[in-house]
Structure 1
């Protein structure tokens, strides 16, 4: 009986020890998880603070201001949707919106096609490809204002570089700064030049993740270089294309520095885009509430495009 009691006493103690041992690893794992999450929030915290202070708070402030009347002096008064209804009859607003659309349609496809072509070329065995990559990427390290000043010198109407070349070739000069179409053409060319390096870098990263065995299999099947590009390269850089499409469209809707430095939105309003028009209202003629409303419209347009593009791309992925 004593032996049975002792055995019975030992058994619960062993089971209790096993339970205690089973609890210790879970406690350690919980502690490690908490420390890991704390470390993550420690790294994210400063960025989140900066985002809240310099992005989300200004957006909310601009949204509130867009429903008020304010010229920067005195107490703002409530205006409701008056600033938004004003846009419906504002001819300059619609012209700026049209110019933004034209600018986007003319720049984004060229940037995507040119960036992919350069990436394919510089991803192959090409003499001096490192030098060419550096030359193409170089505009990325120059600020938009400095690039705009350089472009202004090149497109200057009286004695700019391009008109001097045309004169030397016996051709008539172009009114880059006083004619609407040449002015828009000049800012489009400069914007493509500035963004081409970024597009090429993203496509280069996508190309280098493609397995060479896929191209080898395509060659064995008799595919030409064009067929390899169309059937292997283009589909497999699809995620890069999606990312660049969204980023370049957003950049086109938000273009400001190049146009502001080169043309100031002129001649007339021929190169005025939504951001330059919002700046003009908010800081030059002191219609701050109307400028804020235009800024909210720009934000809404970019969000709508991004969501539509995201849903369309996700639908294709699900089908595949």
Structure 2
């Protein structure tokens, strides 16, 4: 059983309360008697009342209760999707295996955070030696060595089941995602219904490669766009945090995404995914991005409210 992690208090209480409420309500609109629901889920009498009072669950216990509710039909695909539980609710996984997956998430975040911090200080994301030491300065090595260090940093994170993504790339997928499908499945099915064999460009294709053509991989403008995405397609959070689908019903006031999400700017309470740079070369691209963003903000709830707690990760919240 893992201990409580630093920075998890707020999301731990909010998420546990939301889970208990969803288990009580189920997929229908009418709530059943709490005792009846608890008996059907083999929970102790009074469990729902206890956890509606914000009694937080350990992170692996949250998964186990979520899996139980999903298997019993009281939680739907959207709940699993929004909390990033797809890989974790596998009924074949023992509690120790769930703990191991969560540990990998946290280890990937450490590598991600340290790499970002080092690059923002002008150094390579990884030490030259596996034994540690101070990473070399980016401007003191050949570009091939810098790129190799960057790629190894990404691969170490991927080996733990997570990935480094551009914030706008991830949001592009999130806005069109089907809760019943993973990101890979969405990619596979995208454009399958197109006519005349003309497949439209997926809206989540990253502009990161475009950026890298004009600046170094350690540019703050580029690094500020990067986020860590878990094996279940949601940005990393110190505790299970809900990333509400924009098209869903309005969320309760104060219920927001988790603390460790990085890579977004919020200006006057609005999400800003556009890069901050100068130059005529990017004028047309910026205009298009700004128009698309304005339209998206009119049609969807921006899934980021927790904008005042940028603590780590090397990027702005």
Would you call these one fold, judging by a TM-score over 0.5? no
- TM-score for the superposition, normalised by structure 2: 0.22
- TM-score for the superposition, normalised by structure 1: 0.22
Larger radius of gyration: 1
Q: With CA pairs under 8 Å and 6+ residues apart, which has the higher RCO, 1 or 2?
A: 1
